[in-house]
A and B are shown apart, each in its own frame.
Chain A
Amino acid sequence: MKLLILLSATEVATEAHAHATKEESHAVAEVAHDSTEAQTSTAVVKDSLATPVVAHETHVATEAHAEAGEHKVDAHAEHEAHLKHVLHQLQNKPWAALYVACIFFMLVSLGVLAFYAIQQVAQSGWSPVLFRVMQGITAYLPVGSVIFFVILILCGLHFNHLFVWLGEGVTEKGHENYDAIIAGKSGYLNFPFWIIRAAIFLIGWNLYRHYSRKNCLAQDEANDDSFYKKNFKMSAGFLVFFIVTESIMSWDWIMSVDPHWFSTLFGWYVFASFLVSGVTTICLITVYLKSKGYLEHVNTSHVHDLAKFMFGFSVFWTYLWFSQFMLIWYANIPEEVTYFVTRIQQYNLPFFGAVVMNFLFPVLILINTDFKRISWILVMAGVVILLGHYIDFFNMIMPGTVGDQWFIGVSEIASVLFFLGLFIYVVFTALTKVPLLAKRNPFIEESKHFHY
């Protein structure tokens, strides 16, 4: 893409490494970027010390350097470094596949939880008949959180190389893996602080889920609305906690796989992605339960409302996707734009395919009012949206962990199927535990007769 043309001024100015072949030059440059994994020649490390930002960029435009070739590095050492780098990427593959699937399903249930809290606080009159469905879906949150937390700990114990900044010696001056940029961020990106933050976020979300469901059940048996009021206040508090922690979560768990890169609207972008997935999941499960005759009071108007949210949040996601992309593309600042250069070059189909699946398709199909009431259209649109947002998370995690070694193969599909199965098992088990209609919610009568 022509993004590169704009970059080339910086690149040509870079002190280039000697390159035997184009392929090897590519490897060396990437090693400079991935300095944790770099067991590489000192020339490269020196480079990343002197001009860390530029060194980070080099892998974008290796071709530009290939011709420049100024100092000679032992071809053998370079080849070894290349192999090491690719090996790390390949070793990351199953881990990254597991990580993407795990965080995706956990965030889907978190998205449902956020949507549920919004419905509580907004005192919406249409959704109370769906509260038990939403609570059933959020039952996955505790399970998903535990597995996710274990994976984070395994990352910290160096079972994998998912997070470059968790690598050994990255912050140690003089160490061959030393990375000045990461070292500068180590006040925030260090394992103890990171894992404590993760624990606080996960515990906070799960506490809300637990007590909100408990109060909702207690409200069924109560004589007044005190539990409802408690839930209202708790939901308002949760939403404040949620939006702060969600933003930090997106830096910690997603943005930090590319620790040299940053974007201010990233938290919103991640939020939009899993919120629309959450609403879609509510819609799919509602349509399924309705088709089995378990949801007496849910009518096509409720489903229509969910479909409108799917439509609206899909557009919202696209708005943020484009805002992030266009601002960075337009300004074309080297330290920011590499993020998209790698994605466009190495992830072209998933990168733009996600926009087609998450925007073009749902917008064209869900714009029609009649279509928003037809089950098979909703199921079709919902499946495309969910797959599209899986690919969205794939696009966020994979380039920083496996680079150009990506493939949607056995490890990726197996991870998705594993978590999908677990999700379905946990959610539908939870749905059997309590009646599917809340009894004494103040808005339940309105909701039963909701008609749009």
Chain B
Amino acid sequence: MSNKVIYAIYNDDDILMDAVKKTRAAHHHIEDVFTPFPVHGLDKAMGLAPTRLAICSFLYGLCGLSFGTWMMNYIMIQDWPQDIGGKPSFSYIENMPSFVPIMFEETVFFAAHLMVITFYMRSRLWPFKEAENPDVRTTDDHFLMEVAVNNNEEELVSFFEKTGAVEVKVIEKH
């Protein structure tokens, strides 16, 4: 079975947005859209689900807060409760104000870094990763929409030519 896709290439983000909306309305399945910069509202037009990265980050922050609290409690209160400059180390709460800066920073550190790593993993980004540009111009000034072909090649080509595409290509994908 051949794996054909259409590359419809545009040179303006407004035209692209219109094309995406028309394609969705015509019930053609959009595989992907490649743009040189974030196009505001494109995810909504494509019907992509909202990201849950913020929820991850919140949970990572809670982990960081717990870690900071556990660490300071173990080191300063449980393991070796010394009298350092008269600070009360009888229980965690009594000396808590001096731990807050660490608890705060741990929270931010965990929330930020783990969220970034989550982002890299979910979007499959790492050093030496092979770039996936379907067309080098999409990193500069062109926009590309990839649509699957299901025995309706001619219909699709004429459809995309009408949406203002500067170029419509049919590609055999492996």
Residue positions of A touching B, CB distance < 8 A: 1-2, 5-6, 322, 325-326, 329-330, 332, 367, 369
Contacts and interface: CB of A to CB of B under 8 A. Distances in A.
B109 interface: no
Contacts of A329: 97
B34 interface: no
Given A332-B86, A367-B58, A2 B98 contact: no
B77 to A, nearest CB: 13
Given A326-B100, A329-B97, 4 more contacts: A5-B88, A6-B88, A326-B98, A332-B86
- Chain B CB count within 10 A is highest, among A1, A2, A5, A326, for A2
Interface of B: 54, 58, 86, 88, 90, 94, 97-98, 100
Nearest to B50: A369
Contact of B90 (A2, A325, A367): A2
A2 B88 contact: yes
A64 to B, nearest CB: 16
B85 to A, nearest CB: 9
B83 to A, nearest CB: 10
B98 A330 contact: yes
Nearest to A319: B104
B10 to A, nearest CB: 24
Contacts of A325: 97
A322 B104 CA distance: 12
13 contacts: A2-B88, A2-B90, A2-B94, A6-B86, A6-B88, A322-B97, A322-B100, A325-B97, A326-B97, A330-B98, A332-B86, A367-B58, A369-B54
Nearest to A2: B88
Contacts of B90: 2
A2 B100 CA distance: 18
A392 B114 CA distance: 36
B94 A1 contact: yes
A55 B97 CA distance: 28
A35 to B, nearest CB: 30
Contacts of B58: 367
A167 B58 CA distance: 53
A330 B97 contact: yes
Contacts of A6: 86, 88
B72 to A, nearest CB: 15
B14 to A, nearest CB: 17
Contacts of A369: 54
A440 B119 CA distance: 45
A19 B172 CA distance: 98
A116 to B, nearest CB: 29
